[in-house]
Every structure is written in structure tokens, then in C-alpha cells.
A and B are shown apart, each in its own frame.
Chain A
Amino acid sequence: MEILVCVKRVPTVGGRITLTGDGLGVDTRMSGFTISPHEECAVEEAVRITERLGGTVSVLTLGPESAIEQLRGALALGAGRAVLLETDGREYGPIATATAIASEIGSRAAAEPGYDLALFGNEASDTGDYQVGIRVAHLLGWPVVTGIKSLDVSADGVVARREYRGVEEAYSLPLPAVVTVKEGLNLPRYPSLPGRLRAKRAPVERVEIKDVSLPEGLRKTRLRVPEGGTHQATVLGEGVAAVPELVRVLDELGILS
């Protein structure tokens, strides 16, 4: 089973998001970078599938040279191969991103045993576009299902499940296919020390992106942090002594009736 996992380098944000001076990006001077929790689960799932069925996990990202850090993170978890679709640092929209990824998948299929399965996160945690996996599938003519929380893969195909408004939906797809997944699919492992050492030395294939036109119809003009989260809670008291006051507030809010 040849599995491709696509990940995206995104800022690590904790207590609050700070914007850059021009209002067009997230200030990352005081923070690091990571990948989305959905994508961590995609990497873990791919590693588990190949542990069972054999084959290779390739991890791919589209981004600047610095995104190699995220590829090494996936290599440390058990991916065997890493591909960087190298950009000049400009922000790629979903159409340009999908075009570059589909082109890479297509060129690998032409030269080597191609991918059987491409996994994505359901949406990137920063831009939240909800569409790169689907656009890649259309460009390749592969079936695609999104938002998956349970995945059974065999040589014959995949059965993917998700929940929607209290109903479980099951999808059967032939391979090759695109599946986008959500956190909860599995509990990702922590990287082992040998894994981290191997990842540090592993080669990363760097691919130059050709013929991409930017922008693509949706042009960001400004980011802003919505209001809220700036007030301070009314402190009802400390410890068990505050319980009567807490009960009074719960009653006032109509919770106890």
C-alpha cells in the first residue's frame, strides 16, 4: 500500500492570536509551527495501515523551505519518504495548492508504483478552506470522501465512516482514493528517539512547482481578531467557600430550575 499524506505548516497558537503589522498574517515571531491535529491523525493512520499491509508512507507539504520541519516531524512518526513542493513563501490558495499536489501525484504514478491512497486533514487549521482534498481528487479522477473518523483499508478498497447529525454514514470507495480525516480517527503516537534521529538524517525530495497562477479569485484584504476575550470574569470567591455564591448564580441563570 503506497500512501501519501499531505500536511500543512501552520503557526502554533496558544492563548491568543497576534497579527502582523500589515494585518495580513499571524505574527509567529514568538511562536513555533506545527501541523493541524487532523493531519497528525492522518500521518498516524497511514503508518498503522502500512505496518499492517506493508508499503510506504510518503509525506508531502507545499510551502517554503522551512516547512521541511513539518516533514521531519512526520518522518519521526514513521513516514518513510518526504516531498517538499517548494514555494517562494507566497500564500497558495486551495486551487493552486490542489493543482500542484495533483501534478505531483500524477507524475509519480507515471514513473513509479503510484499512490493507492492520499490522506488529507479535513481542513487546515489556519485558512479553513475545506476543499484541497476534494479538488485534488477531481483533478485525478479519484473518488473522495471527507471528514472521516473511522477507516478500514484493504487491498480491495476503503470503508470510511463518519457521523452526521446523529447518523452514522459509511462510504465504500475503490482505490486509488482521496480521504480527508478528522481528529478522533486514532490517538497519534509520540515520536520515539530513534524515530527522531532517523528523521533528522532522512533526505527530503524537493520539487519545484511549475505553472501556478496566483491569485485565484479569492483575495485576502485584511485579517482581524474578533472582539471578545478581553473582559475579565467576575470572581465569585475562592475554594469551597465560594460554593453558596456559585449556587446563587446558577439559580439566577435559570440552570437549577
Chain B
Amino acid sequence: MKALVLLELEVPGDTAVDYQYPATGNPPQSSGTSLSAHADVTVTEASLRALGVGRALAGTGSLAAVVFGDADAGGGLPGVLAEHGVGDVYLVGSAVVAGYAPQAWARVIAGLIEETGATAVLAAATDRGNEVMAHLGAITGLPMAANCLSVSAPAPADGGYVITRQRWAGLLEEEAVLDAPVALLTVAAEAIPPTEADAPSGSGAPPEAAEVHRVVPDISGMAPSPGAVCAPAIPDGDLVVRAVESPVRDGGGGASLATARVVVGGGRGVGGADGFAPLEELASLLGGVVGVSRVVTSEGWRPHRQQVGQTGTKITPELYLACGISGAIQHIAGCSGAKHIIAINTDPGAPILAHADYAVIGDLHEIIPALVAAIRARSAAA
């Protein structure tokens, strides 16, 4: 069994890798993100999770990674990847596909399946991971299983890979059999990869660094690159859809919601667009942000980027303080990653109480101002 994992990278100081596009005209031979210039470039947590699941699936077989971004050696990446059991890393270093171009990325991975004989390809179930893997499924004609929680190596008795995957954004789990010559899987944020101790140890000492293979896609108008191990041909049509990146204009409210330590949630009980000031005050006092339920955004009280839920943002704070939120399961899908949930609700029978650790029964319009005052008094006394 040979597993290939698509990795997404994080460069310190950047929220996403800062790709440079060549201006229209002659694409340069090499530009784009220089990973070697960023010694402390890291693999995202979501990709490490996919790597963990890939490692367990590969078992005593081999584990390879594919990384997009122009690099000679990828800085310290090969060393880091070796610690995660990666034997080979394929660095895709052409300027034209270094920028995010999902269809071209998938075409390159399809080439790598041929090149390496991989029988499973995994990626994190991020927007990009799901998108690239769906393209790969379309290109290869293979099924693709999104948001997998676990996968076991195929056994003849099972008729294929036995997988568990999320439906309804994790509110339901599906057990399924994936019968395909190459398994295409994305790994959910809730997946728990087997620990290192469970990972099979190969023979001999592990290598210090993953072996680096340069991949230079064959794109019309670009000179062939010597020294590349693999040169999958990219049809022009694959490069039609390419991201042009720029900073988010409103400061990225969605991103801060996803990573906030404290989220103060407001639902229908807030009563209207002008009822959020006390929640904002409490959130800022606790170093957090405000999140809202779907009814709040459908009513136009708050912008959609503040929505917590299945069709909004999934949050993972230390504390989620759910105020005036009944707890429809689509909302629970977005907040179940919180370490602690406290509900403030007038209805002791509200479904949110079945998901909360603590609850205060009462009107948020009275309780929140009193809570703000109590916290202020406490810090003034300290």
C-alpha cells in the first residue's frame, strides 16, 4: 500500500502562502513562493491530521507527500516530514501552478498516481482539499469520499476500504465501503489519527529527511526543466481557473471567528439588530468575538461571516457562551468543537442545554449587562 498525501503549508506571518503570479506574457522559469526562504514554514494542522490517517493506512507500505510551491528543498520541510513517516516528498515547483489552480493541481496529482503507483490519495477536508480531490475524482473517474473520520486498509472480505465519513456536517456518521483501484479521501477536522505508538515501524532507523523529488509540470509555452522526476502535462484548460489573492477587505471576520479563544454567541433571543451591543462588550472584555446563529443572519441582523454552524463557520474556542440560541442541530454542527459551552436561555428545555456544560436560565438582556458589570468590578478590585 502506497499512500500519497496533499499537504497545505503555513508560512509564519502569513495566513496563507504568499504566491506571486507571473505577469501575463512569458512566465518565468521559477518564481512564486520560495519555501527555502522560509526556514520555519510548517504544515497545517489539518494536513498533519491527513498525514496521520495516511500513515496508518499505508501501514508497512510507503507514505509520500505532495507540496505545491516553488522550492529547491523546501527549507526544513523534508526533515519535518520524515518525523511524520514520509519517505518521499514531491515538490511541485512551477511558477504557473504554484498559485492555487485547483484543476491543474489535480492534474499533477493524477500524474503522480501514475508515477508512484499510489493506491490512496488523501488531503485535509478543507475548502481546497475537497476541491482538488473532487477534480481528481473527475479527472480519474474514481469515486471520492469527503470528510472521512477513519479508513482501514482494504480486505477482500470487506470488498474494499471500510471508511467512516461525516454526513450533515458531522451530525451523522456514515459507514461505507469504498471499492476503487485508488482510494481518494479527504480527512475531516474531527478525525483522530492513530497515535505514533500505533504506527508500524519499518525496518532499520528512520531516515532523517524525506527524499525530495522535483515535479515540473509540462505547460505549453514553458521550456522543459532538466532534473524533474515527473512532468505531467497540463492542458491549457486546467489553468483557466486560478486564484488571484489579496488581503480580505473587512479584516477577515470569518477567520478570527474560527480561531477565537472565546466566542459569545447570539441567537433569536437577542431580539433584533440593535440588541448586540452588550454581547460585543462582553466578547471584547473576554478577548473574544461575537458569533451568531443562522436566524440572525437570515433576518439580516448581522453579516453572514459571523454565523456559526453547518453553513457558516466551525468554531473551536475554549468557551462558547450561547445566548438566546435554542440549538438547532445545524448550529451544534458549528459549535460542537468548543471545549466548554455555557448557555444563557429563558427556556430550560432548549436543545442547546443538551450540548452545554453549564446553563443560566433567564433573559440575556438582564444577565449579560450584569455579567459585564461583575467582571469589570472583579478586575477593578484585583
Measured CB to CB, the residues of A under 8 A from B are 13-17, 19, 26, 36-38, 93-95, 98, 123, 125-131, 134-135, 137-139, 141, 143-147, 162-174, 182-184, 187-188, 216-226, 228-240, 242-244, 246-247, 249-250, 253-256
Find out whether the CB atom of B175 lies under 8 angstroms from the CB atom of A221: yes
> Within 8 Å CB of A123, what residues of B?
130, 146
Beyond A138-B138, A166-B16, A239-B363, 4 additional pairs, beta carbon < 8 A: A15-B328, A17-B168, A171-B243, A243-B360
Indicate if B284 sits at the interface (CB-CB under 8 A): no
A164-B166 Cα distance, complex, nearest whole Å: 22
A168-B252 Cα distance, complex, nearest whole Å: 9
Find out whether the CB atom of B131 lies under 8 angstroms from the CB atom of A255: no
Find out whether the CB atom of A163 lies under 8 angstroms from the CB atom of B243: no
Measured CB to CB, the residues of B under 8 A from A are 15-16, 100, 102-103, 125, 127-128, 130-131, 133-135, 137-139, 141-147, 159, 166-180, 186, 237, 240-249, 252, 254-255, 262, 286, 294, 297-298, 300, 303-305, 307, 310-312, 318-319, 327-330, 332, 336, 340-343, 348, 351, 353-363, 366-367, 370-371, 374-375, 378-379
Find out whether the CB atom of A147 lies under 8 angstroms from the CB atom of B127: yes
A233-B171 CB under 8 A given contacts A141-B237, A243-B374, A255-B318 = no
Which residue on chain B has the smallest CB distance to residue A243? B370
Find out whether the CB atom of B329 lies under 8 angstroms from the CB atom of A247: no
Find out whether the CB atom of B143 lies under 8 angstroms from the CB atom of A218: yes
Can you spell out 30 A-B residue pairs with CB atoms less than 8 angstroms apart?
Answer: A95-B141, A129-B144, A130-B186, A131-B144, A134-B137, A135-B137, A163-B254, A164-B127, A164-B128, A164-B243, A166-B16, A168-B247, A168-B248, A168-B249, A169-B245, A170-B244, A170-B245, A173-B241, A174-B240, A184-B305, A218-B178, A219-B176, A219-B179, A226-B173, A228-B336, A232-B354, A239-B366, A243-B371, A249-B342, A255-B319
A254-B173 Cα distance, complex, nearest whole Å: 33
Which residue on chain B has the smallest CB distance to residue A141? B237
Tell me which of B125, B255, B341 has the highest count of chain A C-beta atoms within 10 A of its own C-beta: B255
Find out whether the CB atom of A237 lies under 8 angstroms from the CB atom of B354: no
A173-B330 Cα distance, complex, nearest whole Å: 32
Which residue on chain B has the smallest CB distance to residue A133? B134
Find out whether the CB atom of A169 lies under 8 angstroms from the CB atom of B252: no
The smallest C-beta distance from A30 to any residue of chain B, in angstroms, reads 14
The smallest C-beta distance from A11 to any residue of chain B, in angstroms, reads 9
Which residue on chain B has the smallest CB distance to residue A255? B319
Tell me which of A147, A165, A249, A250 has the highest count of chain B C-beta atoms within 10 A of its own C-beta: A165
A37-B294 CB under 8 A given contacts A135-B138, A222-B175, A224-B175 = yes
> Within 8 Å CB of B137, what residues of A?
131, 134-135
> Within 8 Å CB of B363, what residues of A?
239
> Within 8 Å CB of A230, what residues of B?
354
Which of the residues A127, A134, A184, A226 comes within 8 Å of B307, measured between beta carbons?
Answer: A184
Counting residue pairs across A and B whose Cβ atoms lie within 8 Å, the total is: 274
The smallest C-beta distance from A218 to any residue of chain B, in angstroms, reads 5
Find out whether the CB atom of B319 lies under 8 angstroms from the CB atom of A163: no
Q: Is the interface of A mostly helix, strand, loop or mixed?
A: mixed
Find out whether the CB atom of A223 lies under 8 angstroms from the CB atom of B319: no
Which residue on chain B has the smallest CB distance to residue A183? B311
Find out whether the CB atom of B375 lies under 8 angstroms from the CB atom of A220: no
> Within 8 Å CB of B379, what residues of A?
256
Find out whether the CB atom of A166 lies under 8 angstroms from the CB atom of B357: no
A123-B6 Cα distance, complex, nearest whole Å: 21
Which residue on chain B has the smallest CB distance to residue A226? B173
Find out whether the CB atom of B131 lies under 8 angstroms from the CB atom of A165: no
Which of the residues B175, B304, B311 comes within 8 Å of A220, measured between beta carbons?
Answer: B175
The smallest C-beta distance from A132 to any residue of chain B, in angstroms, reads 9
Which of the residues B167, B240, B245, B358 comes within 8 Å of A236, measured between beta carbons?
Answer: B358
> Within 8 Å CB of B180, what residues of A?
217-218
A171-B134 CB under 8 A given contacts A37-B311, A220-B176, A233-B359 = no
A229-B329 Cα distance, complex, nearest whole Å: 10
Find out whether the CB atom of B286 lies under 8 angstroms from the CB atom of A255: yes
Find out whether the CB atom of A254 lies under 8 angstroms from the CB atom of B318: yes
Find out whether the CB atom of B172 lies under 8 angstroms from the CB atom of A225: yes
A27-B165 Cα distance, complex, nearest whole Å: 19
A167-B15 CB under 8 A given contacts A128-B147, A145-B241 = yes
A36-B311 Cα distance, complex, nearest whole Å: 9
